[in-house]
Amino acid sequence: MRKKIVAANWKMNLTLIEGAELVNDLFKGMPQLNENNLVVIAPPYTHLTQTSAQLAGMADVHLGAQNCHSETAGAYTGEISAAMLKSAEVEYVIVGHSERREYFKEDDATVAKKVNQALVNGMKVIFCCGEPLEVRDAGTQNAYVESQVRAGLFHLGDRQMNDITIAYEPIWAIGTGRTATSQQAQDMHAHIRQVLAANYGAEVANDTAILYGGSCKPSNAAELFACPDVDGGLIGGAALKASEFLGIITAMAAAVEA
Ligand code: PGA
């Protein structure tokens, strides 16, 4: 059975001290989670070692990174390899975030190579996909997202899909305060699951968690997470405040029990 996951993407925010305080506050307020709940925190690279040490006492909270490089090692000044992340106790790597695709010109082929790097190094992947506003307005979002999923993941075998979580993040909803309606999220998640089923069969499709991302907050998390194909969230802005992130985690825990 697939898990419910809430993942924090801190992006390029928080100093080391601020990050330590935030994790401390999360630790104090963390609700009781069952074995089907999972929390991931993906801080900036500079925080990984510190956050890893802090998370040692929190069994349900796992360390993530926001990116990795597509090559194994070498002369790539300023970059971080998947092997380095693994050696820093990272368990999850966010790959293909729309901000990476847009600002750092990551194309589908690069994203697919990053997926491979993370998997080969024994980590799990949170694979991001999602359409820009003009695609949503044109009504072609299903084909757009499907093509991202195919290009980024469909070279993988069934077993490797065990280590993949998908995050659907409509670009027009990221950091804008404009959330997709729960119906829009459900429709896309069901479409992604059906695309997975057509390629990998029902078991892989049913076992793959599909998270929603884009202005998810405590006030809308419960409704989103109640959708049958929405298995949690990838959270940006609301993950930077302990009270808000805890509110979203609580919504996940309640959704599993429902
Ligand atoms: P947001 O970001 O929650 O601030 O909209 C989500 C994301 O980009 O992962």
Q: Are strands 124-129 and 232-235 parallel, antiparallel or unpaired?
A: unpaired
Q: Which of 69, 169, 191, 244 is catalytic?
A: 169
Point out the ligand 1 atom lying closest to the alpha carbon of residue 237: 4
Q: For residue 34, what pLDDT is reported?
A: 87
pLDDT (0 to 100) of residue 123? 98
Between strands 210-213 and 164-168, the pairing is parallel
Give me the pLDDT at residue 169, please. 97
CATH superfamily entry for domain 4-11+38-70+79-240:
Aldolase class I (3.20.20.70)
Q: What is the pLDDT of residue 256?
A: 60
The tens digit of pLDDT for each residue in 118-173 reads 999 999 999 999 999 999 999 999 999 999 999 999 999 999 999 999 999 999 99
User: Can you give the pLDDT at residue 88?
Assistant: 97
* Residues whose beta carbon lies within 6 Å of some atom of ligand 1: 9, 169, 174-175, 213-216, 234-238
Long-range CB pairs of 13-18 (<8 Å, 24+ gap) are: 13/44, 13/240, 14/43, 14/44, 14/47, 14/240, 16/46, 16/47, 16/50
- Output the residue whose Cα is nearest ligand 1's atom 9: 236
Please report the sign of the dihedral spanned by the C-alpha atoms of residue 55, residue 170, residue 85, residue 162. positive
Nearest atom within ligand 1 for CA of residue 217: 3
Instruction: Read off the pLDDT of residues 2-42 as tens digits, 9 standing for 90 and up.
Output: 999 999 999 999 999 999 999 999 999 999 898 899 999 99
Q: Is the separation of the CB atoms in 158 and 126 below 8 Å?
A: no
pLDDT attached to residue 30: 93
Contact status, residue 60 vs residue 75, Cβ threshold 8 Å: no
pTM attached to this predicted model: 0.97
Residue 97 designated active-site: yes
- 1 — pLDDT class (breaks 50, 70, 90): confident
* 169 has catalytic annotation: yes
Length of the chain: 258
Residue 89 φ/ψ region, left for φ over 0, alpha for ψ in the -120 to 50 degree band, beta for the rest: left
pLDDT band at 55 (very low <50, low <70, confident <90, very high): very high
Q: Which of 240, 254, 183, 241 is nearest to 212 (CA)?
A: 183
> For tokens 């890893």, what's the residue?
52
Which residue among 12, 99, 169 is best mutated to probe the pocket of ligand 1, counting the most ligand atoms within 8 A of its Cβ? Answer: 169
Confidence of residue 179 (pLDDT cuts 50, 70, 90): confident
Beta-carbon count within 10 A of 232 CB: 32
Number of Cβ within 10 Å of residue 121's Cβ equals 18
Q: Quick check: 69 pLDDT over 80?
A: yes
**Mean of pLDDT values over 188-201:** 98
Please provide the average confidence, as pLDDT, over all residues in the chain: 96
DSSP 210-248: EEEESS--HHHHHHHHTSTT--EEEESGGGSSHHHHHHH
Question: To the nearest 10°, the Cα dihedral for 234, 236, 242, 247?
Answer: -50
Average pLDDT over residues 201-224: 97
